[in-house]
C-alpha cells in the first residue's frame, strides 16, 4: 500500500502515510505555457494499492485529481482508493433553478470513474453518498476536533454549540469527548431587519464557548452569533470546523469576535490546527485490502 498526494493535500497525505506506516509519493505537478496542467507519478507503482489524496477545491484541483487518477491507473496500480478530504460542490446538492445540474452528483460521477473506492471527510449532506455507484464512505474528524479542544488547558471550552439544529449531532460528539454540555443556536426575528441569535436551552454567561461545524465559508453566521454571544456574557469564543473554506478572508474577519479560529487540513490554510488523517486511517485499517 502507498499514499500518493496531489498538491491540494500535501499535509494530510503526509500525516496519513505516517498513520498507516506506508510509503508516501508526492506527485509531480506543473503547468504548460497555456495554463494546462501536467502531472507525473515519479516512482513505480505497478501492483500497489494506491491511496490518492486530493481535495477538490478550488476547481483546478478537480482537474489535477482526474489526471492523477488516470496516471495511476495507466501505471498499473492494482487498486485505487481516492480520498477527497473536502468534497467540492457538496453544497450544490439539488437543482436550485431549472436547467442547472445537481453539481454534487456530477462530481461524484467523475470522481468515482477511475476509483475502486472513494473516501471523503464530513461530507456536508450524507445523502449525497447515494450519488455514487461504487463503494463510498464519509468519515468524521469531529473526534479530532474534540481531542484538540479537550487539550487546550486554560482555553478548554465549557460548552460546545452547533450553529443550527442540523449540526447538533456534531456538537454532541465533540462535547462528549471534551466532557461538557452542548446546545444549538436558534434565530429569532425581532423586526424586519433585526435577528437575535441565542442558545436553545443554556445560558452562556461566564462560559468559554466553542462553535463547531463541518464547514465555514463566509463565516457570516458565526460572526453574528459570536458577537451576540459575547453580548450575552460569553467569556471566550472558539470557532472550530473541519473544512475551512474562509472565502474573502472570512477567518480574519471572524477574529473580531472569535478569540480563536481553527480548522483541519482537509483544506490547508493558516488556520489548520488539526489533521483529519487519523479519521481516514482508522477507516482504512478497518478494511481488508
List, by residue number, the catalytic residues. 187
Query: How many other C-beta atoms can be found within 10 angstroms of the C-beta atom of residue 74?
Result: 10
Q: What is the DSSP string of 57-116?
A: -SHHHHHHHHHHHHHHHHTT-SEEEEEESS-TTTT--S--STT---HHHHHHHHHSTT-S
3-state secondary structure of 17: helix
**Structural contact between residues 160 and 213, judged by C-beta atoms closer than 8 angstroms:** no
Q: 164 has which bridge partners?
A: none
Rg (CA), the chain: 20
Distances (CA, A) of 161 to 83, 115, 186, 213, 226: 29, 37, 11, 9, 11
Distances (CA, A) of 211 to 106, 172, 243, 259: 32, 11, 14, 11
Give the C-alpha separation, 267 to 127, whole Å: 22
Amino acid at each position: 500500500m502507498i499514499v500518493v498526494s496531489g498538491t491540494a493535500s500535501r499535509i494530510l497525505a503526509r500525516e496519513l502515510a505516517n498513520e498507516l506506516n506506508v510509503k508516501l509519493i508526492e506527485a509531480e505537478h506543473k503547468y504548460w505555457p497555456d495554463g494546462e496542467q501536467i502531472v507525473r507519478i515519479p516512482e513505480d507503482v505497478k501492483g500497489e494499492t494506491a491511496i490518492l489524496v486530493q481535495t477538490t477545491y478550488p476547481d483546478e484541483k478537480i482537474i489535477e485529481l482526474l489526471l492523477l487518477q488516470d496516471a495511476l491507473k495507466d501505471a498499473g496500480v492494482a487498486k485505487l482508493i481516492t480520498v477527497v478530504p473536502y468534497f467540492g460542490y457538496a453544497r450544490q446538492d439539488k437543482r436550485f433553478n431549472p436547467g442547472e445540474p445537481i453539481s454534487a452528483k456530477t462530481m461524484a460521477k467523475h470522481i468515482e470513474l477511475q476509483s475502486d473506492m472513494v473516501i471523503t471527510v464530513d461530507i456536508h449532506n450524507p445523502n449525497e453518498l447515494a450519488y455514487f455507484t461504487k463503494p463510498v464512505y464519509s468519515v468524521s474528524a469531529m473526534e479530532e476536533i474534540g481531542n484538540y479542544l479537550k487539550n487546550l488547558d486554560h482555553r478548554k471550552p465549557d460548552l460546545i454549540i452547533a450553529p443550527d439544529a442540523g449540526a447538533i449531532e456534531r456538537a454532541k460528539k465533540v462535547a462528549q469527548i471534551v466532557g461538557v454540555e452542548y446546545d444549538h443556536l436558534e434565530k429569532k426575528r425581532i423586526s424586519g431587519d433585526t435577528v437575535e441569535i441565542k442558545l436553545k436551552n443554556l445560558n452562556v454567561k461566564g462560559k468559554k464557548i466553542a462553535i463547531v461545524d463541518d464547514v465555514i465559508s463566509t463565516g457570516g453566521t458565526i460572526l453574528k452569533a459570536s458577537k451576540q454571544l459575547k453580548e450575552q456574557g460569553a467569556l471566550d469564543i472558539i470557532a472550530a470546523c473541519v473544512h475551512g473554506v474562509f472565502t474573502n478572508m472570512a477567518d480574519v474577519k471572524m477574529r473580531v469576535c472569535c478569540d480563536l479560529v481553527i480548522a483541519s487540513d482537509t483544506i490547508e490554510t493558516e488556520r489548520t490546527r488539526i489533521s483529519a488523517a487519523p479519521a481516514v486511517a482508522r477507516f482504512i485499517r478497518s478494511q481488508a485490502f
